[in-house]
Structure 1
Amino acid sequence: MQAITLVSTKDMDHGEWLKWRQKGIGGSDAAAIAGLNPWKSPISVYLDKIGQGEEVEDNERMRVGRDLEDYVATRFEEATGLKVRKRNAILAHSENEFMFANVDRLVVGEKEGLECKTTNSYSRKDWEDDNIPAHYEIQCHHYMAVTGYKAWWIACLIGNEKFVYKKIERDEEIINYLIKIEKDFWENHIVPKIIPAPDGSEDAGNLIKMMYPNSTPDSFIDLEDDYINHIDRRAEIAEMIKKLELEKSQIEQVIQVGMGDFETAIIRDKKVTWKTINSNRFDSKEFKKDYPDLYDQYVNTSSYRRFQIK
Structure 2
Amino acid sequence: MQANIFIQTSDIGHEEWLSYRRLGCGGSDAAAIAGVNPWKSPISVYFEKIGEAPEIEENERMYWGNVLEDVVAKEFAKRTGFKVQRRNAMYQHKEHEFMLANVDRVYIKDGHVAGILECKTTNEYSKDQWEDDKIPNHYYLQVQHYLAVTGFQEAYIAALIGGNKFVYKKINRDEELIEYLIKIEADFWKMVQDKTPPAMDGSSDADNILSYLYPESEPEKEIHLDTLEDKLKDLERIKADIKELDKQKKEIEQTIKNEMEDAEIAHIGERKVTWKTVISNRIDSKKLKKEKPEIYEQYCKESKSRRFQIK
Task: Give how far 1:8 is off.
Answer: 1.3
In structure 2, the partner of 1:240 is: 241
Q: Is the 8 A contact 2:29 2:45 kept in 1?
A: yes
5+ unaligned residues in a row in structure 2: which ranges? none
Q: State the TM-score, normalized to the length of structure 2.
A: 0.91
CA offsets per residue over residues 85-126 of structure 1, 9 Å max, x none? 222111001011111101012222254211100011111111
Indicate yes or no: 2:157 matched with 1:149. no
Say what the alpha-carbon RMSD is for the aligned residues.
2.1
Indicate yes or no: 2:40 matched with 1:40. yes
SS in 2 for 1:90: strand
Indicate yes or no: 2:212 matched with 1:207. no
Task: Give how far 1:155 is off.
Answer: 0.8
* Alignment partners' CA distance in 1, 2:267 and 2:225: 54
Higher mean C-alpha displacement, 204-213 vs 15-24? 15-24
- What does 1:7-26 correspond to in 2, within 5 Å? 7-26=7-26
* Alignment partners' CA distance in 1, 2:81 and 2:64: 25
Q: Is the 8 A contact 2:3 2:93 kept in 1?
A: yes
Task: Give how far 1:247 is off.
Answer: 2.2
In structure 2, the partner of 1:196 is: 198
Code of the aligned partner of 1:275:
K
In structure 2, the partner of 1:309 is: 310
SS in 1 for 2:120: strand
CA offsets per residue over residues 246-299 of structure 1, 9 Å max, x none? 222122122212211111223344332212233444444455555667756665
* Alignment partners' CA distance in 1, 2:82 and 2:301: 59
* Alignment partners' CA distance in 2, 1:287 and 1:114: 57
Code of the aligned partner of 1:132:
I
In structure 2, the partner of 1:50 is: 50
User: How many residues get paired?
Assistant: 308
Higher mean C-alpha displacement, 103-112 vs 132-141? 103-112
In structure 1, the partner of 2:275 is: 274
Say which of 197, 203, 216 aligns to 2:218.
216
CA offsets per residue over residues 157-184 of structure 1, 9 Å max, x none? 0011111111222112211111111111
Task: Give how far 1:240 is off.
Answer: 2.4
CA separation of 1:153/1:291 partners in 2, compared to 1, >3 Å: closer, same or farther?
A: closer
CA offsets per residue over residues 39-90 of structure 1, 9 Å max, x none? 1111221222122222222344323222222221222223333333222111
Q: State the TM-score, normalized to the length of structure 1.
A: 0.91
Code of the aligned partner of 1:156:
A
* Alignment partners' CA distance in 1, 2:296 and 2:83: 66
Code of the aligned partner of 1:174:
L
* Alignment partners' CA distance in 1, 2:283 and 2:298: 16
Say which of 121, 125, 129 aligns to 1:122.
125
* Alignment partners' CA distance in 1, 2:180 and 2:100: 16
In structure 2, the partner of 1:174 is: 177
Q: Is the 8 A contact 2:54 2:212 kept in 1?
A: no
SS in 2 for 1:68: helix
* Alignment partners' CA distance in 2, 1:68 and 1:303: 38
* Alignment partners' CA distance in 2, 1:15 and 1:282: 43
In structure 1, the partner of 2:99 is: 99
SS in 1 for 2:220: coil
* Alignment partners' CA distance in 2, 1:201 and 1:148: 33
* Alignment partners' CA distance in 2, 1:282 and 1:262: 30
* Alignment partners' CA distance in 1, 2:35 and 2:281: 42
Code of the aligned partner of 1:15:
E
CA separation of 1:297/1:55 partners in 2, compared to 1, >3 Å: closer, same or farther?
A: closer
Identical pairs, percent = 55
CA offsets per residue over residues 202-233 of structure 1, 9 Å max, x none? 011011011111111121111142x1222122
CA separation of 1:286/1:60 partners in 2, compared to 1, >3 Å: closer, same or farther?
A: closer
Code of the aligned partner of 2:103:
V
* Alignment partners' CA distance in 1, 2:225 and 2:280: 47
SS in 2 for 1:191: helix
